[in-house]
Amino acid sequence: MIYKSFGSLPAYGESSIALLSNVHAMKLRGGNSTSSSLRAEAITFFTSERTPAALVAGMALSMLFSMPLKQDEGHLRSFAKRVYVALSCSSLCHEMVSVFASSLAIVQILKERRDFAADCPMTMMMQEYPLYFLAVRTHFISGLLCFVGSIAVRMWIEYSTGCNKFAKAMTYLLGSTMVFMLSLFNTSLLCSESLGSMWVKYATAMVRATKHRVGPNIFLAVLLGVMCLKEMAACMGLAGRQMWQEGT
């Protein structure tokens, strides 16, 4: 009745209602009630991760083209801008993968009709959907850290010309926030010791998931990633040498 009284909702509203209806249907479906509850809680988890990841991705996209490179600016400022763009683009890519993996995980969970042996949602997701779970968590926190790092770099770029000490203070504050966020994340982990070890588990899960279905897309993704790192290293190396020569 409430839905009808408001008429037609936007597309995202309808999809959210449909998703909640599926979760509610899982809870009411016969069979193993524990498995139904685990499915519902897993879907809720992936949905809760997808929303902030999409928000961060949108903000990173808006920041990506806000500070174009110029030929007549100093080498130090030019180097800082390159770092800023690299962090913003990395944040965007991480969060897009997190959103995409969350959507895939929800679809995969909705397809399952068997019972699970796990007794809690975390154990169930690590046992049944390790690739999606690790992809969502690693990319989300990595993208968030890159986002905070890009804000710190931009803070220095924008305010270093007016008040260098103030710019440094704000940069240190954001850097401290980023490190504190990483520390909190590491202390909250149950299946890994740190973000680095979670990335190792994620890479291992990726290899296991694709070793029997290796296609051209995997090789193309690896090739493009290597090319990106090569060009980035060359660009940053050149900017770093120019900055060093300018300082000396």
Distances (CA, A) of 65 to 150, 156, 165: 13, 17, 27
Are 109 and 43 in contact by the 8 Å Cβ rule? The answer is yes
> Three-state DSSP class for 32?
coil
Q: What local confidence, expressed as pLDDT, does residue 214 receive? A: 61
Are 69 and 81 in contact by the 8 Å Cβ rule? The answer is yes
Q: Was domain 9-213 assigned CATH 1.10.287?
A: no
Between residues 25 and 124, which one has the greater pLDDT?
124
Scan for tokens 């806000």, then name that residue.
66
- Model pLDDT for residues 195-223, shown as the tens digit of each residue: 888 899 988 888 888 776 766 777 788 88
Distances (CA, A) of 73 to 77, 78, 157, 225: 7, 7, 12, 29
Q: What local confidence, expressed as pLDDT, does residue 246 receive? A: 62
What does the domain layout of the chain look like in residue ranges?
A: 9-213, 216-248
Least confident of 30-34, 100-104, 127-131, 239-243: 30-34
Which residues, in sequence order, are CB contacts of 237 under 8 Å at separation 6+? Answer: none
Q: What local confidence, expressed as pLDDT, does residue 247 receive? A: 60
For 198, how many CA atoms within 13 A lie in the half-sphere containing its CB?
A: 25
Would the pTM count as exceeding 0.85? no
State percent of the chain over pLDDT 90: 32
- Model pLDDT for residues 59-79, shown as the tens digit of each residue: 999 998 888 877 777 778 888
* 80 has pLDDT over 80: yes
* 229 has pLDDT over 50: yes
Q: How many residues does the chain have?
A: 248
User: Both tokens of residue 176?
Assistant: 């401290």
Q: What local confidence, expressed as pLDDT, does residue 243 receive? A: 67
Q: What is the gyration radius of the CA atoms in the chain, in angstroms?
A: 22
Are 239 and 82 in contact by the 8 Å Cβ rule? The answer is yes
Q: What local confidence, expressed as pLDDT, does residue 226 receive? A: 87
Q: Give the containing element (helix H, strand E) for 50.
A: helix 33-64
Q: What local confidence, expressed as pLDDT, does residue 149 receive? A: 94
Q: What angle do CA 161, 167, 168 make, to 5 degrees?
A: 125
- Model pLDDT for residues 131-180, shown as the tens digit of each residue: 999 999 999 999 999 999 999 999 988 888 878 888 889 999 999 999 99
Q: What local confidence, expressed as pLDDT, does residue 89 receive? A: 94
- The amino acid present at 121, given as its one-letter code, is P
- Model pLDDT for residues 95-132, shown as the tens digit of each residue: 999 999 999 999 988 887 777 776 777 878 888 888 99
